Chains A and B, each alone.
Chain A
């Protein structure tokens, strides 16, 4: 495909007097795994909400796969192949783990509105495949609300993957996870992204994750993009150090 997969141009969005996004522009190339970092309140979640259609921008434009998707409703944007996960777990708590993923699969296969054929076995293989991937196959029959926080995050990822997106937006995918869960989760996303040539854009506070996974990093500060580049470039930038990490240097704990 010619051109970038995702193109964000001069996005602005205010809440009351607070400008959450002050004219953000960037492009995401197909196949790239990249991160948006920035302190709390920098506008990362607002950015995701605007891209996925949850919020309309005050001005600016979002282009996806060559189309203008600005202001389209979330379900329409999702249909085009843009899936997301949420910062706070966002699942169907009283449905089983299986049903959570099955809904996404039926929706993706355009079978979610069927009125006649029983739903019970529909998409079973594909659903179990996804659950296998995210390590929840054994919990398939349990109510998803009974899962631990980390497992709910994994399920959320499973729901997003079931949509077979071309672009996956992950809002702090490892927030609240144990170090062990974080490693598994990161490895999983990296593997699936590689296998399916998936483009991933994520926000994250865990710098180990950011610097080990992202091929490209964007730094958001007070609603503006202040830096963009490869991890090694970003690590060296004084401006980034100052706004994001205080006066100290960026320290990353290297995994052994």
Chain B
């Protein structure tokens, strides 16, 4: 039964993921971008949906991942595999340092501190011309020839996203995931059942930061560059919006949110330059029509407008 369902899901997923290979290049690139941002959003949601921690600065780890991979490939001639894998490791290390300082605070203070740290990362990327290329970005990252073809890069992205997404799925369904939920629900009570709350929060922060860095590295291969924008606060807002749009209380919700937002952006910008107007409308829809996200809307049905977006049940 379970096995049959798993096989069905796996088959459906594979089929779905194979479709872009047969489509024109434009859609192939769009699908690659969706997958990468989907991974970023799922990593972000480990904190938001499962841990109840609102990070306003997750772009920092995404940016660190992109620059790590890019710099190692371009400036240090490090082999591809090492450069690519160094990205999540360095991002996780940065997350460990930021996390140690951020998790001492709660709620809005936590969020503001993550924002502050991410702006520092952005400022470094923006100003350190000799290393990062400053506001020009780090351009011309040498992508290995095996991944030069968009199809190859798409398949590589699918493999990484499915693998790491699968690991995240294991993680949230393992005792650690339950513990994280308990901390989200009631940190005080969790402490009194013997859970080291800060350590659990820090672990989630580091894992989330590491996977965000991996997504950043994938994107640096996709765009063949790394830019200060990757670490800018608007990137953090984007991933937050994707997550809320898709629904933070369903595992794949954030990925769906990423798909909707990126697809919408691509369609709208081909007609008009007024994308922010549409984005505003999406935000209103999110609050009044899909409180708790699109996935919640379709799984549970319409609910009353949320007083605080993201507040489930």
| Interface residues, chain A, with chain B CB atoms under 8 Å away | 52, 54, 73-75, 78-79, 83-84, 86, 90-95, 99, 102-104, 106-108, 111-120, 122, 143, 145, 159, 162-163
Check A79/B194 contact, CB under 8 A, given A92-B186, A116-B170, A119-B173: yes
Q: In the complex, what residue of chain A is closest to B192 when comparing beta carbons?
A: A74
Across the interface, A73 reaches (CB within 8 A) one of B174, B177, B179, B191, namely B191
Given contacts A159-B193, A163-B194, contact A103 B313 (CB under 8 A): no
Bound CA–CA A143/B312 (angstroms): 13
B191, A120: Cβ atoms under 8 Å?
no
In the complex, the 5 A-B pairs of residues with the closest C-beta atoms, listed nearest first: A78-B194, A92-B185, A114-B175, A104-B193, A107-B194
B185/A93 in contact, CB under 8 A:
yes
Interface residue B197 (Cβ < 8 Å from any Cβ of A) = yes
Complex CA–CA separation, A90 to B203 (angstroms): 25
List 11 additional contacts besides A52-B192, A113-B200; criterion CB under 8 Å: A73-B191, A75-B194, A75-B195, A78-B193, A92-B185, A99-B181, A117-B175, A118-B174, A119-B178, A122-B175, A162-B193
Query: Is B189's CB under 8 angstroms from A90's CB?
Result: yes
Give the residue among A74, A116, A117 with the most B Cβ atoms within 10 A: A74
Q: Contacts A92-B182, A94-B313, A115-B170: A106 and B175 contacting too (C-beta < 8 A)? A: yes
The residue of chain A having its C-beta at the shortest distance from the C-beta of B196 within the complex is: A75
Chain B residues within 8 Å of chain A by Cβ, number: 27
Contact A106 B174 (CB under 8 A): no
Alpha-carbon gap, A106 to B181, bound state (A): 13
Q: Pick the most buried of B177, B182, B185, B194: most chain A CB atoms within 10 A of its CB.
A: B194
Q: Mark B176-216, 1 if CB is under 8 A from A, else 0.
A: 11110110011011111111110010010000000000000
**Residue from B173, B200, B313 within 8 A of A118 (CB atoms):** B173
Interchain nearest-CB distance for B190 vs A (Å): 7
A88 to chain B minimum Cβ distance, whole angstroms, is 11
Which residues from chain A contact B179 at a C-beta distance below 8 Å? 103, 106-107, 112-113
- Contact indicator A95/B192 (Cβ below 8 Å): no
A103 to B186 CA separation, bound complex (whole angstroms): 12
Does B171 interact with chain A (Cβ within 8 Å)?
A: yes
Closest to A74 in B: B191
